[in-house]
Chains A and B, each alone.
Chain A
Amino acid sequence: MWSTFVTTLKTNLRNRSALFWLIVFPLALSTLFNGMLADLNEGYEIKAIPLAVVQDANWDKADGAKAFVDVLSGEKRSSSDSGDDAFAGAGGDRTRLLEAVDADTLDEARTALADGRAAGYLRVDGHGMLSLTLSPATASAIRGGAMSTAGDSNTAITVAAIDTMLNLYNRTDASVRDLIARRPQAAASREFWSSVGDVAGLTRETSLTNAKPNMTARYYYALLGMACLMAMGYSISAVTTAQANLSALGIRRTVAPLGRGRQLIAGFLASWLCSAASLTVALAYIRYVCGIPLGGREPAAVAAVAVASFTACALGTMIGAIPKLPHSVKMGLSSAIPCTLSLLSGLYGQFAMNLSDWITRHAPVLALVNPAQQVTNLFYDILYFDSYRPFAATCGILIAMSVLFLAAGVIMLKEQRYEHL
Chain B
Amino acid sequence: MTTQNGTTAGPTPPAVKVDGLVKRYGDMIALDHFDLEVRRGEIFGLLGPNGSGKTTAINCILALLTYDSGAIRVFGEPMTPTSYALKRRIGIVPQNVAVFDELTVAENIDYFCSLYVPRKAERAPLVEEAIDFAGLGDFRKYRPRKLSGGLLRRLNIACGIAHRPDLIFFDEPTVAVDPQSRNAILEGIERLNRAGATVVYTSHYMEEVERICDRILIMDHGRHLALGTADELKAMIDTGERITIETLDLDDPALAAVRALPCVIEATYDGRELDIRCRRGEHNLVDLIGALRERGANIGHLTSRPPSLNDVFLELTGKALRD
B82 touches A416 (CB 8 A): yes
Complex CA distance for A4 and B103, rounded to whole angstroms: 12
Which of A167-175, A246-254, A300-308, A315-323 lies at the interface with chain B? Answer: A246-254
Closest to A417 in B: B66
Q: What are 18 contact pairs spanning A and B, CB under 8 A?
A: A4-B114, A4-B115, A7-B107, A10-B107, A11-B103, A15-B102, A249-B98, A249-B99, A251-B98, A252-B94, A255-B62, A255-B90, A257-B85, A259-B84, A260-B81, A416-B81, A419-B25, A419-B65
Complex CA distance for A420 and B103, rounded to whole angstroms: 29
B102 touches A11 (CB 8 A): yes
Residues of B within 8 Å of A258, CB to CB, are 115
Q: How far is the CB of A5 from chain B (nearest CB, A)?
A: 11
What's the tally of chain A residues with a CB closer than 8 Å to chain B? Answer: 29
- Cβ of A288 under 8 Å from chain B: no
Closest to B96 in A: A248
Residues of A within 8 Å of B102, CB to CB, are 10-11, 14-15
A255 touches B98 (CB 8 A): no
- Cβ of A421 under 8 Å from chain B: yes
Complex CA distance for A258 and B85, rounded to whole angstroms: 10
| Residues of B participating in the A interface, judged by any CB pair closer than 8 Å | 25, 59, 62-66, 81-82, 84-85, 87-88, 90, 92, 94-100, 102-103, 107, 110-112, 114-116, 118, 159-160
Residues of B within 8 Å of A3, CB to CB, are 110-111, 114-115, 118
Q: How far is the CB of B155 from chain A (nearest CB, A)?
A: 12
B65 touches A417 (CB 8 A): yes
B88 touches A257 (CB 8 A): yes
User: Are A420 and B25 CB-contacts (below 8 A) given A244-B64, A251-B92, A256-B115?
Assistant: yes
Interface of B is mostly: loop
A421 touches B64 (CB 8 A): yes
B100 touches A417 (CB 8 A): no
B65 touches A418 (CB 8 A): yes
A7 touches B87 (CB 8 A): no
Q: In the complex, which of the residues A7, A241, A255 has the most CB atoms of chain B within 10 Å of its own CB atom?
A: A255
Closest to A418 in B: B65
Residues of B within 8 Å of A259, CB to CB, are 82, 84
B94 touches A257 (CB 8 A): no
Residues of B within 8 Å of A252, CB to CB, are 92, 94, 98, 112, 159-160
Residues of A within 8 Å of B111, CB to CB, are 3-4, 7
Closest to B59 in A: A421
B92 touches A248 (CB 8 A): no
Complex CA distance for A135 and B264, rounded to whole angstroms: 113
Complex CA distance for A256 and B160, rounded to whole angstroms: 10
B84 touches A251 (CB 8 A): no
A256 touches B66 (CB 8 A): no
Complex CA distance for A258 and B114, rounded to whole angstroms: 9
Closest to B81 in A: A416
Residues of B within 8 Å of A7, CB to CB, are 100, 103, 107, 111
A417 touches B87 (CB 8 A): no
Q: A255-B62, A257-B87 are in contact. List 18 more A-B contacts (CB 8 A).
A: A10-B107, A14-B102, A248-B97, A251-B59, A251-B98, A252-B112, A252-B159, A252-B160, A253-B115, A254-B64, A254-B81, A255-B90, A257-B85, A257-B115, A258-B115, A418-B64, A419-B65, A419-B66
